């Protein structure tokens, strides 16, 4: 479904706010993406306008201990230049109950920004906790967070919504048989990508070119999750779209990721710095408009609010040597990275939105969604 007249978001129409808000930056977490979260939080901390926010950084250790991150708070008080590239989540212990109770009872409005990636943070668990405390928070709600985090479930929902995707199979650990790798190779062809269903940042993802590699890749993925997704390999551009909004989401101009590795791996994203972005993606105006439209359809199908980065593969229909299927949804990230090389802020910045304006918009969306949801649920 192409709408070549669709235009990018217009940030000048976003509401302006002057009241100061208590902003709790929640980062770290128990998942394998802990370090990514600590880096994301450092850059959000440096970008948030201190005239608009009283900021409290709260870290979660890999063992699940919550703490007021005093080193981060001290660095923030010394100015943005003192904030390190990655925050330390340790400090004075505080229980989630204490933190949320204080947030709910503060005379000034409080918003929690859970900059958590992966399980036990991006998957609806922390979102549910904050919901029960009646505190506004940035990002997708419980349902969308849980479904989008689980790639196997998300693919089923997107298939029901007629969102195009690559061929895939998903299965649980107890369903694996000795003959499954060969069966998958026969069904999907080789090579394939093997992923833990509940993980992000390409953690635990492998490209398997043989049945033996496929068997090994499944074993690796099982160290991160008991649910596994195996997908056909797609030859095409990796196109990503940043989306902001609640009931009326807006999409930024899409960008292309050109991986430096064999695929867009964890090292490629956060270590080697070999990949690079091209914004706008060099696919033509009509395809750019189609990507924005499809990203918003995907966002709504999963009932996402706040923000997401929607990732596609693009098989050029005009390529005589390819399959020409157009856009295939790869996945939806409901809390994408905010590091200097992360695509979500890059795409908005390319559309003329500053990093602080992104933060302001996310906070406003959190407040709006919270008020709406509370009106609907209270009797």
pLDDT of res. 4: 41
Judge contact between 310 and 295, C-beta under 8 A: yes
Q: What is the mean pLDDT of residues 304-331?
A: 94
Selection from 82, 78, 60 nearest residue 69 by Cα? 60
pLDDT of res. 84: 94
Residue 59 has pLDDT above 70, yes or no: yes
Tracing tokens 């559309």 back to the chain, one arrives at 351
pLDDT of res. 163: 98
Cα 122 from Cα 304, distance rounded (Å): 12
CATH assignment of 157-163+234-353? 3.30.470.20
What average pLDDT does the chain have? Answer: 90
What single DSSP character describes residue 18?
Answer: -
Architecture of domain 167-232: 2-Layer Sandwich (3.30)
pLDDT of res. 2: 39
pLDDT of res. 8: 62
Residue pLDDT, tens place only, 221-230: 999 999 999 9
Tracing tokens 């005239």 back to the chain, one arrives at 51
Residue pLDDT, tens place only, 178-217: 999 999 999 999 999 999 998 765 778 999 999 999 999 9
Q: What is the pTM of this model?
A: 0.90
Angstrom distances, CA of residue 179 to CA of 117, 175, 176: 34, 11, 8
Backbone angles phi, psi at 93, to 5 degrees: -60, 140
Q: How confident is the model at residue 377 (pLDDT cuts 50, 70, 90)?
A: low
Residue 354: is the preceding peptide bond cis (ω within 30°)? no
pLDDT of res. 262: 61
Strands 192-196 and 326-333: unpaired
What single DSSP character describes residue 253?
Answer: P
| Tokens, residue 39 | 């880096």
Q: What angle do CA 16, 22, 25 make, to 5 degrees?
A: 100
Domain 18-138+358-377 has CATH 3.30.470.10: no
Q: How confident is the model at residue 263 (pLDDT cuts 50, 70, 90)?
A: low
> What are the residue ranges spanned by the domains of the chain?
18-138+358-377, 157-163+234-353, 167-232
| Tokens, residue 362 | 């996310």
Q: Which residues contact 157 (CB under 8 A, 6 or more apart)?
A: 147, 301, 302
Residue pLDDT, tens place only, 337-376: 887 778 999 999 999 999 999 999 999 999 999 999 877 6
Q: Which residues contact 355 (CB under 8 A, 6 or more apart)?
A: 43, 47, 345, 349
Selection from 69, 2, 25 nearest residue 363 by Cα? 25
3-state class percentages of the chain: helix first, strand second, coil last, to nearest 5: 35, 20, 40
Chain-centroid distance of CA 11 in Å reads 21
Angstrom distances, CA of residue 327 to CA of 98, 148, 189: 46, 19, 20
Q: What is the mean pLDDT of residues 90-115?
A: 91
| Other residues' Cβ atoms within 10 Å of the Cβ of residue 174 | 6
Residue 326 has pLDDT above 50, yes or no: yes
Cα 72 from Cα 78, distance rounded (Å): 10
Q: Max alpha carbon distance in the chain (Å)?
A: 63
Residue 334 has pLDDT above 60, yes or no: yes
């Amino acid at each position: 479904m192409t709408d070549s007249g669709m235009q990018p978001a217009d940030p000048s129409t976003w509401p302006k706010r002057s009241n100061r808000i208590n902003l709790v930056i929640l980062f770290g977490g128990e998942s394998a993406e802990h370090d990514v979260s600590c880096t994301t939080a450092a850059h959000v901390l440096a970008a948030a306008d201190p005239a608009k926010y009283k900021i409290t950084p709260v870290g979660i250790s890999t063992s699940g201990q919550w703490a007021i991150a005093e080193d981060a708070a001290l660095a923030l008080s010394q100015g943005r230049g003192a904030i390190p590239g990655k925050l330390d989540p340790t400090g004075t212990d505080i229980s989630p109950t204490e933190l949320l109770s204080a947030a709910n009872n503060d005379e000034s409005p409080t918003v929690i920004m859970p900059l958590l990636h992966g399980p036990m943070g991006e998957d609806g668990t922390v979102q549910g906790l904050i919901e029960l405390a009646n505190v506004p928070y940035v990002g997708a709600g419980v349902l969308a967070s849980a479904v989008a985090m689980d790639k196997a479930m998300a693919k089923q929902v997107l298939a029901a919504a007629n969102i195009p995707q690559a061929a895939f199979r998903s299965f649980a650990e107890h369903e694996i048989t000795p003959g499954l790798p060969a069966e998958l190779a026969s069904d999907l062809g080789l090579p394939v990508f093997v992923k833990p269903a509940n993980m992000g940042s390409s953690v635990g993802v492998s490209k398997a070119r043989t049945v033996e590699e496929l068997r090994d890749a499944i074993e690796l993925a099982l160290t991160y999750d008991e649910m596994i997704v195996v997908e056909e390999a797609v030859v095409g551009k990796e196109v990503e779209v940043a989306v902001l909004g609640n009931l009326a989401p807006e999409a930024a101009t899409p960008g292309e990721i050109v991986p430096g590795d064999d695929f867009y791996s964890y090292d490629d994203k956060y270590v080697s710095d070999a990949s690079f972005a091209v914004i706008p993606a060099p696919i033509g105006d009509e395809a750019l408009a189609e990507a924005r439209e499809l990203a918003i359809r995907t966002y709504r199908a999963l009932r996402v609010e706040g923000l997401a980065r929607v990732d596609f593969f693009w098989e050029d229909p005009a390529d005589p040597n390819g399959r020409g299927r157009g856009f295939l949804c790869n996945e939806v990230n409901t809390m994408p990275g905010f590091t200097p090389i992360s695509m979500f802020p890059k795409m908005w910045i390319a559309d003329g939105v500053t990093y602080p304006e992104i933060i302001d918009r996310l906070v406003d969306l959190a407040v709006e969604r919270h008020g709406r949801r509370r009106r609907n649920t209270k009797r």
